Structure 1
Amino acid sequence: MNNIHIATIIIISANVIISLKGFNDFSFFEKYKFNIGGIRRGEQVRMVSAGFLHADMSHLLFNMLTLFFFANVVINEVGVTRFVIIYVVSLILGNLLSFYFHKDEYQYSAVGASGAVMGILYSAILFYPDMGLYLFFIPIAIPAWVFGMAYLLYSIYGMKKRLGNIGHDAHIGGAIGGYALTLLFAPYLLETNWWIVALLAIPLIILFVMHKLGYI
């Protein structure tokens, strides 16, 4: 693995510093977390700041480890500037999708870099769909494209059933950001990896159809 890029170090450091501040300062955490009521009062900074706060240390560690392992894949393919764009846009799209689905739930709150990290992960999957992912101590590598499809479908199911204390919609919004921007920055993937582009579009189409039909 290549040395971690300075941009990744800066992003991880910002997440760690701001999250630790939030762990130890309740008023800070409440002021900058994603909250529908606060955003509807005009506190738009929450759309971005929430992406640097985490619920606990395990939440922070999981997101930052995922970013650490996949950041260089994306940087090596599209460059550091576009990597940062994918990260930030995926973060914002994840929160925008959460806002869209929960806009009338004034108490709804969320935190975490999951949307941004999912954008980076899905970008990496588009470039290297056959790379192996080891999950939850499973000794057999799972092809990245299988994980990508399965996770999006699970997130759609989680949205519908409201499973756990997880922002499934933010994950999907982030994945959409990573998917769309990667194809914008590397349109040759539509030819070289057309099959994975098509497969990863299927869950997004399912989400759109289910929403139109009123199931989500």
Structure 2
Amino acid sequence: MFSITIVILILTCIISFTAFSNQKVINDLIFYPPAITQRNQWYRFITNGVIHADIAHLAFNMFSFYMFGEFVEKYFMALFDERGKILFITMYITALPVCLIPTYLQNKDNYHYRSLGASGAVSAVVFAGIFLDPTIKIGLLIIPPIIPGFIFGPLYLILSAYMAKRGGDNINHSAHFWGAVWGIVFVIITCLLLTRFNPITNFLFQVKNYFS
């Protein structure tokens, strides 16, 4: 039986590859704020996450998602038992609209703005993993996994916030930032409401032990 991570990955790849050669699919699914504002096409908050600009964009997102998705999904299963799978997919799906709310508010009448890709949801999964295991080693492309998550995380957030403010590179850094924040918030809320596990205490304990 496939994991939720693999199912999401396969579906995203199938739809993305279909969209590469079909502009209508892209137009129908892409995040386009005026279509939401004027035609109430709220589904675009979700569907933009299953299409990508090109193969490189898709590959980077799905590789990052796979590397952390399997880990986070199993961690959720350990924390929440059978509810873990439902909560994992809930985190992923809710991250898609949550990460785009600031973007929508800034561009709801901007006819020139479009956004696509699963980056916000992937960021949520990555940062959920970092929050649950802050000493996990992370690398970037040619850089081997040598940076602990609790150092990588703040650097990533600072850079994303800076790049979002600067703009001009056709990348929705705001979605990356808010997706990452949502991953952490989701873990805190669900753990405190549904388990006796305190993820904040666990995070601080692991970071402290790292320097011991």
Does residue 75 in structure 1 map to residue 80 in structure 2? Answer: no
The offset of 1:32, in angstroms, is 1.1
Give the equivalent residue in structure 1 for 2:201: 191
- Alignment counterpart, residue 159 of structure 2, candidates 139, 142, 154: 154
Does residue 22 in structure 1 map to residue 19 in structure 2? Answer: yes
Structure 2 gap ranges (5+): 77-83, 193-197, 208-212
The offset of 1:86, in angstroms, is 0.9
**TM-score, structure 1 length as denominator?**
0.84
How many angstroms apart in 2 are the aligned matches of 1:30 and 1:21? 13
How many angstroms apart in 2 are the aligned matches of 1:172 and 1:195? 25
Structure 1 gap ranges (5+): 198-216
- Alignment counterpart, residue 57 of structure 2, candidates 56, 59, 84: 59
Does residue 39 in structure 1 map to residue 36 in structure 2? Answer: yes
Give the equivalent residue in structure 2 for 1:209: none
Query: Using a 3 Å threshold, how does the CA distance of structure 1 residues 126 and 148 change in structure 2: closer, same or farther?
Result: same
Question: Which stretch has the larger CA shift, 130-139 or 62-71?
Answer: 130-139
How many angstroms apart in 2 are the aligned matches of 1:92 and 1:123? 17
Q: What percentage of aligned pairs have identical amino acids?
A: 30
Q: RMSD of the alignment, in Å?
A: 1.9
Give the equivalent residue in structure 1 for 2:99: 94
The offset of 1:189, in angstroms, is 1.2
The offset of 1:163, in angstroms, is 4.2
Query: What CA deviation, in whole Å up to 9, does each residue of 1:25-72 have, x standing for no partner?
Result: 011111210011111121111111101110000000011011111112
Query: Using a 3 Å threshold, how does the CA distance of structure 1 residues 140 and 181 change in structure 2: closer, same or farther?
Result: closer
The AA in structure 2 aligned to 1:86 is M
**TM-score, structure 2 length as denominator?**
0.85
The AA in structure 1 aligned to 2:119 is S
How many angstroms apart in 1 are the aligned matches of 2:204 and 2:111? 41
Count of residues in correspondence between the two structures: 194
User: Do the aligned partners of 2:95 and 2:124 also contact (CA within 8 Å) in 1?
Assistant: yes
Q: Secondary structure at the match of 1:109?
A: coil
